[in-house]
Copies of this chain bind each other. A is one copy, B any other.
Amino acid sequence: MGNLYIGLLHFPMRNRRGEIVATATTSMDVHDIARTARTYGVVRYFVITPLASQQQIAWRIRGFWTEREQAMEGSRRGEALELVMVATSLEETLSWIEEAEGDCPILIATSARPQQVQCISYAQLKDVVHHEERPAYIVFGTGWGMADELIETCDYVLPPIEERADFNHLSVRAAAAIVLDRVVGDR
């Protein structure tokens, strides 16, 4: 198995009317997903937004836990937040991984909507990730989902979680936890 990376995309996303927008960074997305990433052995968690003000917010949240909280008794949250790296675009993170690894990663999209292209099941992806030496990079969207052009650039697309449920509105924090557990968990 190669190294595992994850990314949280804030652009190009859709809003509730299907328009392409940059969504807002939230402290809980940075914080919760970093803790999940650390638990599942992810080596880097990219928070991706083209907006400088939003990048600052993400860095500030990281710094709060890595520079202040870490000094407090018994807390290890800083170890999780240290995985966070803020980036401007998906392309920038792909270049970063390729430079660090000497190989481009297998790029995997997640979606709350069934997709027609590059579909792979969780069991199949688990198998691919465990047998490949290349790094794997799973990206999550915010807002009302990733733009179609973005999904089409990925090697694989995972199906919605609980596809058969009549309610499919998990938080991205919950979705990221479930996806990592399904793909690399020791269940």
Write the residues of chain A forming the contact surface with B, with a CB cutoff of 8 angstroms: 16, 28, 31-32, 35-36, 38-41, 73-77, 79-80, 122-123, 161-165, 167-171, 173-178, 181-182, 185-187
Contact = CB atoms under 8 A, between A and B. Distances in A.
Contacts of A123: 187
Copies in the complex: 2
A182 B35 CA distance: 19
Contact of A185 (B36, B162, B186): B162
B171 A35 contact: yes
A80 B164 CA distance: 17
A170 B39 contact: yes
A181 to B, nearest CB: 5
Contacts of A185: 161-162, 178
A162 B122 contact: no
Given A16-B74, A162-B185, A173 B40 contact: no
A165 B79 CA distance: 13
Contact of A171 (B32, B73, B186): B32
B165 A16 contact: no
A77 B181 CA distance: 24
Contacts of A74: 16
A178 B170 CA distance: 12
